[in-house]
């Protein structure tokens, strides 16, 4: 990132100085062909440096790192939400739920909610259910909640202490569970509100609304990215310093969103949220 900033600054200054000193109609007479090519190359390099600063693609654990400036970073990773155990008291881990907060997928070890809870409570998840029930009882309406409603739980693991945010993403009507794209954006808005209340700057979340919700993983990723970029660029987005979106990767290595599609979605979101 430092290289990109340096190239962008010095390249732009040099090119700008040259253009300011020489009138455009005298360019051909003042500069030989080889020098004109060098000047154009510097301008292009400065654009490349600016691009590198705003969207840096890495090949380490995080598949893509998007630096939006002002210490605001969006990381996109492949794996499971419980693969990332370097949490601290300034970290919020998001788990999706339906608007009744009575998800049966907590019993499913292959679901985001189930696998994460089992990693924290290997001897059973009744303690987790009881903690959720106590938080819900503090609300006036305990039958159904608005999409984006988020409850927080303090968790102590063998490694660290952090907070879990359980957010209502999907609708539950009889035995049907479903989500719309707007649900993802409302859920992110609710998450952001909780982060502001609790002064939390780092958040980890899976692709909300996909899986049991029925949304395609690609659409969920797009909605999360657009919501994050929009909120970060608002005056109230100061707390969104470190947003981590985890794309589910199966044990056999299969990805729910391919790397190629992920890169296209990121570029689309950035270009349309300027």
The residue among 69 and 4 whose pLDDT is bigger is 69
Determine the pLDDT at residue 165. Answer: 92
The reply to whether 140 and 81 lie within a common domain is yes
Tokens of 209: 């609304």
The reply to whether 224 and 104 lie within a common domain is yes
The reply to whether 128 and 247 lie within a common domain is yes
Given a cut of 70, is residue 217 above it in pLDDT? yes
Find out whether 106 and 113 touch, Cβ atoms under 8 Å.
Answer: yes
Going by C-alpha positions, the residue among 214, 140, 202, 137 that lies closest to residue 171 is 214
Asked whether the CA dihedral 87, 91, 96, 101 is positive or negative, the reply is: positive
The reply to whether 107 and 48 lie within a common domain is no
- What value does the mean pLDDT take over residues 60-65? 63
| Highest mean predicted confidence (pLDDT) among 88-92, 99-103, 206-210 | 206-210
| Highest mean predicted confidence (pLDDT) among 37-51, 126-140, 212-226 | 212-226
Determine the pLDDT at residue 203. Answer: 94
Question: What count of Cα atoms within 13 Å lies in the side-chain half-sphere of residue 179?
Answer: 32
The reply to whether 181 and 252 lie within a common domain is yes
Tokens of 105: 């997928």
Going by C-alpha positions, the residue among 190, 142, 159 that lies closest to residue 205 is 190
Q: 190 falls in which pLDDT band (50, 70, 90)?
A: very high
Given a cut of 80, is residue 266 above it in pLDDT? yes
Find out whether 170 and 105 touch, Cβ atoms under 8 Å.
Answer: no
- What value does the mean pLDDT take over residues 163-184? 90
Domain count of the chain? 2
CATH of residue 93: 3.40.220.10
Given a cut of 70, is residue 25 above it in pLDDT? no
The residue among 229 and 121 whose pLDDT is bigger is 229
Tokens of 73: 């970073």
CA gap 175, 106 in Å, rounded: 16
- What value does the mean pLDDT take over residues 66-95? 83
Going by C-alpha positions, the residue among 95, 96, 94, 91 that lies closest to residue 241 is 91
**For the segment 194-214, what is each residue's pLDDT rounded down to a tens digit?**
999 999 999 999 999 998 888
The reply to whether 49 and 78 lie within a common domain is no
Going by C-alpha positions, the residue among 118, 70, 24 that lies closest to residue 232 is 70
- What value does the mean pLDDT take over residues 8-34? 59
The reply to whether 124 and 7 lie within a common domain is no
Mean pLDDT of the chain: 78
Phi and psi torsions of 255, nearest 5°: -105, 140
Tokens of 246: 């985890």
Determine the pLDDT at residue 61. Answer: 47
Determine the pLDDT at residue 265. Answer: 93
Tokens of 214: 């029925």
Domain boundary among 27, 54, 81: 54
The residue among 147 and 272 whose pLDDT is bigger is 147
Q: 80 falls in which pLDDT band (50, 70, 90)?
A: confident
The reply to whether 160 and 215 lie within a common domain is yes
The residue among 68 and 143 whose pLDDT is bigger is 68
Domain that holds residue 208: 62-271
Given a cut of 80, is residue 113 above it in pLDDT? no
The reply to whether 267 and 136 lie within a common domain is yes
Determine the pLDDT at residue 1. Answer: 41
Going by C-alpha positions, the residue among 164, 233, 247, 170 that lies closest to residue 198 is 164
The residue among 142 and 182 whose pLDDT is bigger is 182
Find out whether 57 and 225 touch, Cβ atoms under 8 Å.
Answer: no
């Amino acid at each position: 990132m430092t290289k990109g900033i340096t190239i962008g600054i010095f390249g732009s200054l040099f090119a700008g100085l040259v253009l300011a000193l020489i009138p455009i109609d005298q360019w051909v007479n003042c500069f030989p062909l080889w020098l004109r090519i060098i000047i154009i190359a510097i301008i292009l390099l400065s654009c490349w440096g600016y691009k590198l600063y705003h969207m840096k693609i890495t090949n380490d654990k995080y598949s893509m790192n998007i630096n939006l400036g002002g210490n605001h970073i969006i990381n996109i990773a492949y794996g499971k939400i419980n693969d990332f155990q370097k949490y601290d008291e300034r970290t919020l881990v998001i788990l999706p739920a339906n608007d009744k907060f009575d998800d049966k997928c907590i019993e499913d070890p292959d679901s985001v909610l189930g696998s994460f809870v089992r990693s924290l409570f290997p001897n059973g998840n009744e303690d987790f259910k009881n903690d959720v029930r106590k938080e819900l009882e503090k609300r006036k309406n305990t039958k159904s909640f608005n999409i984006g409603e988020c409850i927080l739980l303090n968790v102590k693991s063998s490694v660290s202490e952090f907070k879990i945010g359980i957010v209502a993403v999907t609708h539950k009507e009889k035995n049907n569970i479903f989500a719309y794209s707007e649900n993802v954006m409302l859920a992110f808005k609710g998450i952001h509100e909780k982060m502001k209340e609790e002064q939390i700057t780092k958040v980890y979340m899976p692709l909300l609304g996909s899986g049991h919700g029925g949304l395609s993983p690609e659409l969920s990723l797009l909605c999360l990215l657009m919501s994050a970029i929009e909120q970060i660029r608002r005056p109230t987005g100061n707390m969104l310093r470190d947003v981590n979106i985890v794309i589910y990767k199966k044990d056999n290595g299969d990805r729910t969103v391919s790397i190629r599609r992920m890169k296209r979605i990121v570029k689309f979101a950035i270009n349309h949220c300027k």
